[in-house]
């Protein structure tokens, strides 16, 4: 009896050890990744996980390699069948896609739930992706390099006078209606702050808010940065859109021709290319400092 008990215990211990061993032996790092989040797709390519990506969202355009990859829908229209058919072992979803994550969990597919956040969250997410994919070193290097470059921009504008800045992220074309602007949180606010500007809506603890022309007149920004996620249109159209602000001539930015329209999808993507956006912002906010001699 005693022997039998000991044998059973030994067997159980061996079994547990074997199971633990087999768990460790299973391929621990995802090899077939689907990304619904364009900024994370960019991070994956940056840390060398590009070859492991088997599907991307319909809004992915960078780097150029993504054009060859299958599309799996996007935030509101994920194509579950397509996702399953690609046999992923990791799907990167938006935090608001809880429904999709739950469905994938029932299919035994791991997910990484992403939420837009602050500028500091970008290198943080890079490191998280690195440890999840077994690419810690590459990710740490990329994250540190990004932080270093961002600090470089911050240092360059240090000490310069910080203009009061309005960051416009949407409005009705050719009119001052439906004005959507950046509040005091989120990577766009952080980027403007880093590039030496004081957001006039920094006191509003929201990523974005709709405002009236009255509040803009009252807050008197000295610079208006208007972000368009499209390719730059013709110079004539850019000028026409800039002139849309002309009626608010009592706003210092308008009076002093400091309304700057910026174009490009990377402007609204919190991915590794924020360093480019940071430099573009710094150039627009401090043209006096950042002109490089040729």
Partner 1 sequence: MRSVRQRLAGWGLVFGLLALAAVAGAPLIGSTRISLARAFDSAVPFADNVDAQIFFIARLPRVIAGAVVGACLAGAGVVLQALLRNPLATPFTLGVSAGAALGAVLAISLKLQLSLWGVSAVTGASFVGSIGAVAIVYALARARHRGFSTNVLLLAGVTLNSFFSAVILFVQYLSNPADTIQTLRWLMGDLGIASYTPILAALPMAAFAFVAFAWLPRALNLLSLDADAAASRGVNVVRVQQVAFFSSSVATGAAVALGGPIGFVGIIVPHLIRLLVGSDHRVVLPISALAGAAFLVACDVVARTAMAPVELPVGIVTAIIGGPFFLWLLIRKR
Query: Which residues sit at the interface with partner 1, rule CB under 8 A?
Result: 59, 75-77, 169-180, 201, 204, 206, 208-215, 217-220, 229-230, 233, 237, 240-241, 247-250, 255, 268
CB 100 within 8 A of CB 107: no
Nearest-approach distance from CB 118 to partner 1, in angstroms: 20
Nearer to partner 1, 157 or 192 (CB): 192
Alpha-carbon distances, residue 255 vs 170, 220, 246, 251, 252 (angstroms): 21, 11, 8, 6, 5
Nearer to partner 1, 58 or 113 (CB): 58
Distance of CA 189 to the CA centre of its chain: 13
Nearest-approach distance from CB 175 to partner 1, in angstroms: 4
Nearer to partner 1, 26 or 205 (CB): 205
Residue 208's nearest CA partner among 184, 225, 191, 192 is 184
Nearest-approach distance from CB 59 to partner 1, in angstroms: 7
**Rounded to whole angstroms, how far apart are CA atoms 182 and 224?**
11
Nearer to partner 1, 24 or 205 (CB): 205
Nearest-approach distance from CB 255 to partner 1, in angstroms: 7
Nearest-approach distance from CB 139 to partner 1, in angstroms: 27
Nearer to partner 1, 72 or 211 (CB): 211
Instruction: Count Cβ atoms within 10 A of the Cβ of residue 52 and give its class: 0-12 exposed, 13-18 middle, 19 or more buried.
Output: middle
Alpha-carbon distances, residue 63 vs 45, 72, 203 (angstroms): 8, 17, 36
């Amino acid at each position: 009896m005693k022997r039998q008990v000991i044998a059973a215990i030994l067997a159980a211990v061996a079994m547990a050890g074997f199971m633990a061993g087999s768990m460790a032996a299973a391929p621990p790092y995802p090899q077939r990744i689907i990304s619904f989040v364009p900024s994370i797709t960019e991070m994956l390519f940056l840390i060398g996980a590009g070859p492991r990506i088997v599907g991307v969202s319909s809004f992915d355009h960078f780097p150029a390699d993504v054009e060859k990859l299958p599309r799996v829908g996007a935030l509101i229209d994920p194509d579950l069948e397509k996702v399953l058919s690609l046999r992923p072992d990791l799907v990167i979803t938006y935090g608001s896609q809880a429904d999709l994550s739950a469905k994938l969990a029932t299919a035994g597919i791991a997910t990484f739930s992403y939420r837009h956040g602050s500028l500091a969250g970008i290198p943080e997410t890079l490191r998280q992706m690195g440890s999840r994919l077994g690419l810690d070193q590459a990710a740490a290097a990329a994250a540190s390099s990004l932080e270093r470059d961002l600090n470089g921009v911050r240092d360059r504008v240090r000490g310069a006078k910080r203009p009061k800045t309005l960051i416009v992220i949407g409005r009705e074309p050719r009119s001052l209606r439906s004005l959507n602007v950046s509040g005091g949180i989120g990577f766009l606010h952080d980027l403007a702050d880093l590039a030496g500007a004081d957001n006039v809506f920094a006191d509003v603890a929201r990523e974005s808010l709709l405002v009236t022309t009255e509040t803009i007149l009252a807050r008197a920004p000295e610079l208006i940065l208007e972000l368009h996620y499209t390719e730059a249109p013709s110079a004539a159209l850019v000028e026409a859109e800039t002139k849309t602000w002309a009626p608010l001539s009592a706003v210092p930015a308008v009076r002093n021709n400091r309304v700057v329209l910026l174009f490009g999808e990377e402007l609204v993507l919190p991915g590794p290319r924020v360093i480019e956006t940071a430099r573009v912002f710094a150039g627009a906010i401090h043209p006096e400092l950042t002109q490089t001699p040729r």
